[in-house]
Amino acid sequence: MDTAPFLIELESPDPGVTRLTLSGDFDYTTSGDLAALTPTFMNSGLRVLEIDLSGVTFIDSSGLATLIHLYHAAEEHPAEMRFVGMTPYIAHLFEVTALDLVFNLPTSAT
């Protein structure tokens, strides 16, 4: 089974804002890559952590667990974590796992 390469793009579109753009397969073999980056973008000036999942083609429980970990890290920082890109696949996955009740989702995803 071929998997789409997992890519993480990190940018700061505005002061205090960090955007993570994820693409490819976000699973048990790749979720550690994002978890390892968490200390890098959880700096003292972070106010908003934006997550763009519009390029994610697959996500498993390890990927979801990593997003939950990021959510808790942002809460402790404290910073707001929000999603700025969502596909119908990811929105449905969040709905069936009840993560849509936890995460700040874009209105077009619900």
Model confidence pLDDT, tens digit, residues 35-78? 998 888 887 689 999 999 999 999 999 999 999 999 999 999 89
Q: Which domains does the chain have, with CATH numbers?
A: 7-98 (3.30.750.24)
Pairing of strands 17-26, 7-11: antiparallel
Mean per-residue pLDDT of the chain: 90
87-103 per-residue burial string, b: 16 or more CB within 10 A, e: under 16:
eeebbebbeeeebeeeb
Burial class (CB within 10 angstroms; exposed 0-12, middle 13-18, buried 19+) of 41: middle
Q: In whole angstroms, give the CA distance from residue 28 to residue 40.
A: 21
Model confidence pLDDT, tens digit, residues 21-30? 999 999 999 9
> What does DSSP assign to residue 104?
B
Q: Are 34 and 24 in contact (CB under 8 A)?
A: no
